[in-house]
Structure 1
């Protein structure tokens, strides 16, 4: 596998892991918004971004302050 394909595969694997860990989970963002994660996108300018059910917009994944369940102790 070429280096470029290996990097792409690593990125897509990490995106899939983040989706499995967060979609459908309740989160609280640093700005106080709370809700269930609907979707995760890979944004070429900002990295991983999430949408929260019931709120318009997309936020950087780094704005998650608290997450539902035992995964909240892990790093993303």
Structure 2
């Protein structure tokens, strides 16, 4: 497999794993917002981003302070 395709496959596999681990999980963000992860995006400028049910906006996944086990 060419290098570009291999990298793309690795990125997509990691995204799918993160998505399955985060969707529906209760989280608290570093700014105090809390709720359930509603959606996960792969943003070309900022990396992995999430939306929280009941809150407008998209936050970097790095802002998760506490996640449901």
The 1-side partners of 2:38 and 2:2 are apart by: 34
TM normalised by structure 2 equals 0.99
Match of 1:32 in 2: 32
Runs of 4+ in 1 over 2 A off after TM superposition: none
State the number of aligned residues: 69
CA apart distance, 1:44: 0.4
Confirm whether residue 45 of structure 1 aligns to residue 45 of structure 2. yes
The 2-side partners of 1:22 and 1:30 are apart by: 16
CA apart distance, 1:17: 0.4
Deviations 1:34-61 (A, max 9, x none): 0000010000000000000000000000
SS state at 1:27 partner: strand
Structure 2: 5+ residue stretches without partners: none
Structure 1: 5+ residue stretches without partners: 70-76
The 2-side partners of 1:38 and 1:58 are apart by: 10
The 1-side partners of 2:19 and 2:47 are apart by: 14
